[in-house]
Amino acid sequence: MHANPALTEASPKIQGARTISGWGRYPRAASEILVADAPETLPALLRGRRGVIARGAGRAYGDAAVGQRTTCLTGALDRLRSFDPATGRLRAEAGVMLADIVRTFLPRGFFPPVVPGTQFVTLGGMIASDVHGKNHHREGGFGTHVEALTLLTPDGVPRPCSREQNPDLFAMTLGGMGLTGTILDATFRLRPVESGWIDQQTRVAADLSAMLRALDEDDAATYSVAWIDCLARGSALGRGLVYRGEHAGRQTCRAAGRDLFPIPARGWLTVPPGLPGWTLNRASVTAFNATYFRRGAAADASALVPWQSYFFPLDGLAAWNRLYGARGFVQHQCVVPRRGAEAVLSEMLDRVARLGTASPLAVLKRLGSGGGWLSFPMEGYTLALDLPATAATLALLDELDRSVVAAGGRLYLAKDARQSRDTFEAGYPALPAFRDLRRQLGADGVLASRLSARLGL
């Protein structure tokens, strides 16, 4: 199995407190660490503890996988339980990495139905965050494709959950950020594909209006995503590149002289530790964005690209979160309804450009309707911005939050490190019902992350 970054050292089941963080390296907090070695040992390991949250690969950007008191590492629960090639149905433990699923099944002609922007996440984390991908406008989030799961509830009992069995608990767990119980395993279906290549169509959008039109025109495309130059201003505000994708067929690949399932390339670039935070500044990011836009505009409009490059471009740069230095970074990912979206997104992008500390990692996508009770997606557009964790950034994000709330939007909990309780409560109408069911489960105070304590979940 693929080595889980959350379990890189041999440890006893119970460790002392140590300082941990999410992928953004902000905020940091001390937490007692537990290490789960098998589903059967979890009830005894967790019994009597309060303020506990499960943590898979540690790829939540903020404090969602940092326990209020205790963090339980579940990456060792990594067995593939069963697979039916006739239906694509896979049952696997929650600690299985997405990278392992792709590595195992893509050569056999199967690919996950939904993938986020990195393959280094666990199955349990994908469900707890109800991750969305470049195909959400057509196929929903990952939770839409989960058929069943086993949940260890706060009373220590493993409970089967599906749309037929414990349906409310099932719906609350999809996107529930690990606050309903610890996911032990799940069943979902992989999609059949004919190759490991994506037939990518690239279009240039000169400004935000053109960008939104292009995404709307991609409604019939399986995959669609846009990169935005978030430092462009004036008539070029919101300019970028839109990438439409389809799984390439056998004939297309053979005509191009490509192996159907190429051996995945291993990333050889690594950001060194101790990189100073000033490396990403207005000058360096402006130069990068201009070069990236120019090369993208000059490249072939149609190309076959490997699955890694299309779905997980940043995975080729190991430890890229170090780009922001020791202070870390925050990601602001919002979704706003389609009506009025251009005005609010224009305002947000202009504010970010004026701040001048934006990163080259800005992504815009179309989303369809949501899934679980606390699932992030809603019909509209989602904008994701990575920004250094400075006082100026945090003040700006408070302003952007107000624009999002006024537009009827919300922020993604799996990426959040700093939104206020008021912002959160304004964006999630199912929150009262979620809190009620948490109380009925006896989860209050027992299952708690730094995020849930901050937001009053």
Tens of pLDDT, residues 372-400: 899 999 999 999 999 999 999 999 999 99
Residue 175: per-residue pLDDT: 97
Residue 5: per-residue pLDDT: 43
Radius of gyration of the chain (CA): 21
Residue 309: per-residue pLDDT: 93
Pull the structure tokens for residue 111.
């690919």
% residues pLDDT > 70 (the chain)? 96
Tell me how far CA of residue 28 lies from CA of 62, 88, 255, 279, 450, in angstroms: 9, 40, 51, 22, 10
Q: Indicate whether this model's pTM tops 0.85.
A: yes
Q: How many CA atoms lie within 13 A of 49 on its CB side?
A: 26
Q: How confident is the prediction for the chain on average, in pLDDT?
A: 93
For residue 265, name the pLDDT band (cuts at 50, 70, 90): confident
Specify whether the CB–CB gap between 231 and 286 falls below 8 A: yes
Residue 327: per-residue pLDDT: 92
How confident is the model over 234-255, as a mean pLDDT?
A: 96
Candidates 170, 184, 187, 186; CA nearest to 441 is 170
Query: Which helix (H) or strand (E) segment is 28 a member of?
Result: strand 28-35
Pull the structure tokens for residue 97.
């990495």
Tens of pLDDT, residues 405-414: 999 999 999 9
Residue 300: per-residue pLDDT: 76
Where are the extended beta strands (E) located within 288-395? 302-306, 317-318, 329-337, 362-367, 380-388
Residue 295: per-residue pLDDT: 86
Residue 268: per-residue pLDDT: 66
Residue 7: per-residue pLDDT: 39
Bridging pattern class, strands 182-189 and 14-21:
unpaired
Tens of pLDDT, residues 153-210: 999 999 999 999 999 999 999 999 999 999 999 999 999 999 999 999 999 999 999 9
Residue 320: per-residue pLDDT: 92
Residue 9: per-residue pLDDT: 39
Which fold, 197-420?
A: Alpha-Beta Plaits (3.30.70)
Pull the structure tokens for residue 227.
């990169």
Q: Is a pLDDT exceeding 60 seen at residue 351?
A: yes
Q: In what order do the strands lie in the sheet with 14-21?
A: 14-21, 28-35, 70-73, 52-55
Q: Is a pLDDT exceeding 90 seen at residue 276?
A: no
For residue 267, name the pLDDT band (cuts at 50, 70, 90): low
